[in-house]
Amino acid sequence: MQPMLSRRLLAPALALALICAAALSGCAREAAPAVEYTLLDGQKVSSQQWAGKVMIVNFWATSCATCVKEMPEIVATHEKFKARGLDTVAVAMSYDPPAFVARFAETRKLPFGVAIDNTGSVANAFGPVQMTPTTFLINKRGEIVKRYVGEPDFAALHGLIEKLLAET
């Protein structure tokens, strides 16, 4: 009786594993949410403006040690690939004091758009995002390719960006 029970349990587990593997391999990509936000410089931006670009959307906070630690790598990634079609937006969480965000962006000379998600609507549209840092990589078709919770492996991220930039 035991071997039969094991086979009955194994089939659904195997099916679930195959579904998960397909989702992780990029077979089932979800569209990035439609969002609007305002950058620190007052510019209004819509995710519709991301069309045709590979995007990094980084949710962070000035009070998050990992966020502060990874920001130079986010900057370096942006600088390395921006001429080839990568764009980046750093979205500060709703609980982050706007003056802290503005000071951080100014003193670090962040070379990309920085938004403050005052209402939490952008973070909610993406998940909701509950932990920082959380970074999304979006392809030229507006599909979420990868979600990183915590600091990404930047070498692997760069390899994935290379592949996405090469897509037509």
Could you read off the pLDDT of 58-112 as tens digits, one per residue? 999 999 999 999 999 999 999 999 999 999 999 999 999 999 999 999 999 999 9
Q: What is the mean pLDDT of the chain?
A: 88
Q: Which two tokens stand for residue 134?
A: 């959380």
Query: What is the CATH classification number for the domain harbouring 147?
Result: 3.40.30.10
The DSSP element (H or E) to which 106 belongs, if any, is helix 98-107
Whole domain around residue 151: which residue ranges?
32-166
Q: How many domains does the chain have?
A: 2
What is the C-alpha to C-alpha distance for residues 30 and 27, in angstroms, rounded to an integer?
Answer: 10
The DSSP element (H or E) to which 156 belongs, if any, is helix 154-166
Are the CB atoms for 68 and 143 separated by under 8 Å?
no
Using DSSP's 3-state secondary structure scheme, residue 46 falls into strand
| Mean pLDDT across 36-51 | 96
Q: Which two tokens stand for residue 167?
A: 């897509």
Q: Which two tokens stand for residue 91?
A: 């979205």
Is the same domain home to 89 and 75?
yes
Q: Is the pLDDT confidence value at 17 over 80?
A: no
Is the same domain home to 147 and 95?
yes
Q: Is the pLDDT confidence value at 113 over 60?
A: yes
Is the same domain home to 61 and 130?
yes
Within 10 angstroms of residue 8's Cβ, the number of other Cβ atoms is 9
Is the same domain home to 13 and 93?
no
Is the same domain home to 108 and 49?
yes
Is the same domain home to 22 and 71?
no
Is the same domain home to 8 and 55?
no
Is the same domain home to 21 and 43?
no
CA dihedral of residues 116, 121, 123, 124 (deg, nearest 10): 170
pLDDT for 29: 84
Is the same domain home to 152 and 71?
yes
Residue that wins the pLDDT comparison between 15 and 141 = 141
Find the distance separating the first CA and the last CA of the chain, reported in whole Å.
55
Instruction: Give rounded-to-5 percent helix, strand, coil for the chain.
Output: 45, 25, 30
What is the C-alpha to C-alpha distance for residues 75 and 140, in angstroms, rounded to an integer?
Answer: 20
